[in-house]
Amino acid sequence: MELTEPNTYTVAGLMSGTSLDGLDVAICTFSHSATGDWEYNVLHAETLDYNAYPAIQQMLRIAPSLEASGLIESDARFGKWMGSRLKEILLKCDIKIDLVGSHGHTVFHKPEQGYTYQIGHGAHIYAAINRPVVTDFRSLDVALMGQGAPLVPVGDELLFEKYNACLNLGGIANISIKADKRLAWDLAPCNILLNEVVEKNYPGKKYDEGGNIAATGQVDEKLMERLNDWDYYARVGPKTLHKDQIMAELWPIIELSQVSAPDLLATLCQHIGKKIGEAAPNEGSMLVTGGGALNLVVMKEILANTSCSIHVPDGGIVAFKEALIFAFLGLLRVLGHTNTLHSVTGASADSIGGSLFGIWPSTVV
């Protein structure tokens, strides 16, 4: 479907990340001009902290260990919860939307075995808000022999094209690079490991705010060497990481190191910075978003290992870029535009991924 005149759409994006800190909600407008350029505006964004919803947080935490019926129940329950919370936000902000793009929460991601699974069923979101909902963005790409990730590079290319690279520091550090064809892959663990160290060593704390604890530590060179030897780094892309893989393969190395918590955090921050430095472009600018962008030690290490200029945007985009882009990917899906690039996933072709619940365009007023 080709757009031949300006159009504006209001879309809600929902994103639950691997760090299990909360559900990011971004309500955005997207305008498409006759020249083919996209512009966005974030009307409202907030994070629903899972600490305020302990039953939901626990459900997400144990989801990978559930039997089939329990997992199906969790899929429905999380969808109902997301739909109800989104309805409350829309009423509070007095905003009417055209569409929802929901990533959901990843429970399993095994593209090498032909499947990926995110819970938060779109039917239940639709039932709560009576607007079309797009979910399950990754499965089609996996069926086409791709990694099912990363998906954000389409948004990087169409919404943030002025940057040579876009770096996201979430549970996992991933990068998207402008080239003859868009390149992207997961670089290294980030907040998954940093937060795990904090939670296990500082009861009541969920993360190292600002990198204050890491700033007091010293880098342990032996541990750094073992981290750098992880075989994931030697693999040729496209390649992706998942929490289960990180905890199974890297966390035992950290536990056996017998290094103090401040030194662990300092070592991990430098490790992240070095891996980003190996991938970042040598010139131009790089947009940095995600919770890790607020960790001053991580950012110091990135600056020490990169030669391109670093741009950290305002709080809205730094925290909600992924939710913004999943709203955009949902819109591309219903408009019939490519929203998954095989150049970054390794699939056999570009695709228009996502399952639609409801009718587009919506006839509800």
User: pLDDT of 207-216, one tens digit each?
Assistant: 999 999 999 9
pLDDT in tens, 27-62: 999 998 777 789 999 999 999 999 999 999 999 999
How far apart are alpha carbons 40 and 56 in whole angstroms? 31
Confidence of residue 83 (pLDDT cuts 50, 70, 90): very high
User: Buried b vs exposed e over 177-213: b needs ≥16 C-beta within 10 Å?
Assistant: bbeeebbbbbbbbbbbbbbbbbeeeeeeeebbeebeb
Q: State the DSSP code for 236.
A: P
Q: Residues with Cβ < 8 Å from 345, sequence gap 6 or more?
A: 141, 146, 147, 148, 149, 150, 151, 238
| Domains of the chain, first to last | 7-147+326-357 (3.30.420.40), 165-307 (3.30.420.40)
Check pLDDT > 60 for residue 3: no
Confidence of residue 5 (pLDDT cuts 50, 70, 90): very low
How far apart are alpha carbons 263 and 247 in whole angstroms? 19
Q: Residues with Cβ < 8 Å from 137, sequence gap 6 or more?
A: 101, 103, 151, 326, 329, 333, 339, 340, 353, 354
C-beta separation of 186 from 150 below 8 A: yes
Give the end-to-end CA distance of the chain in Å, rounded to a whole number.
24
How far apart are alpha carbons 100 and 129 in whole angstroms? 9
Lowest mean pLDDT among 2-16, 29-43, 227-241, 250-264: 2-16
Check pLDDT > 60 for residue 365: no
| Two tokens, residue 133 | 């909902």
Mean pLDDT of the 151-175 span: 95
Q: Residues with Cβ < 8 Å from 45, sequence gap 6 or more?
A: 24, 25, 26, 27, 316, 319, 320, 323, 324
Cis peptide before 361 (omega within 30 of 0): yes
SS3 22: strand
More confident residue, 224 or 32: 224
| Chain centroid offset of residue 258 CA | 31
Question: What's the CA angle centered on 223, arms 222 and 226, to 5 degrees?
Answer: 90
Strands 172-177 and 183-189: antiparallel
Check pLDDT > 90 for residue 298: yes
Identity of the amino acid at 84: S
Residue at token pair 């020249």: 35
How far apart are alpha carbons 167 and 156 in whole angstroms? 10
Check pLDDT > 60 for residue 2: no
* Residues paired with 286 in a beta bridge: 165, 310
Mean pLDDT of the 321-343 span: 96
C-beta separation of 86 from 125 below 8 A: yes
Q: What does the pLDDT read at residue 358?
A: 96
Residue at token pair 């030690």: 297
* Closest to 71 in 3D by CA, of 22, 17, 18, 108: 108
In 239-356, which ranges are continuous DSSP H helix?
Answer: 243-249, 251-256, 261-279, 296-305, 315-335, 342-345
pLDDT in tens, 245-281: 999 999 999 999 999 999 999 999 999 999 999 999 9
Lowest mean pLDDT among 18-22, 25-29, 73-77, 184-188: 18-22
Lowest mean pLDDT among 188-192, 242-246, 354-358, 359-363: 359-363
C-beta separation of 188 from 272 below 8 A: yes
* Closest to 85 in 3D by CA, of 125, 58, 55: 125
